[in-house]
Amino acid sequence: MIRINLLPHREEKRKARRQQFFALSGLIVLMAGLIALLVHSVISGRIDAQQAKNDFLKAEIAKLDKDIDEIKRLKEQIAALLSRKQVIESLQANRSEVVVLLNELAKQVPDGVYLKGVKQTGTKINLIGYAQSNARISNLMRNLEASPLLEQPTLVESKRVLQANRTVNEFNLNVVVTRAKPEDKKATEQKPAAAGATPAQTGQPAQAAPVQPAPGQVGQPAQPAPSAPAGKKS
Q: Are 170 and 159 in contact (CB under 8 A)?
A: yes
Q: Which H/E stretch holds residue 100?
A: helix 97-108
Name the fold adopted by 97-182. Answer: Gyrase A; domain 2 (3.30.1360)
pLDDT reported for residue 4: 65
Q: How far is CA 220 from CA 99, 125, 212, 217, 224, in A?
A: 63, 72, 10, 6, 12
Question: Are the C-beta atoms of 130 and 169 separated by less than 8 Å?
Answer: yes
Q: What is the pLDDT of residues 181-213, one digit of tens each?
A: 444 444 444 544 444 444 444 444 444 444 444
CB 141 within 8 A of CB 153: yes
Q: What is the pLDDT of residue 122?
A: 73
pLDDT digits (tens, 9 = 90+) for 87-115: 888 777 666 677 777 787 788 788 888 78
- pTM assigned to the model: 0.39
| Helix (H), strand (E) at residue 16 | helix 9-93
**Taking the domains of the chain in order of start, what are their residue ranges?**
16-93, 97-182
Mean pLDDT, all residues of the chain = 75
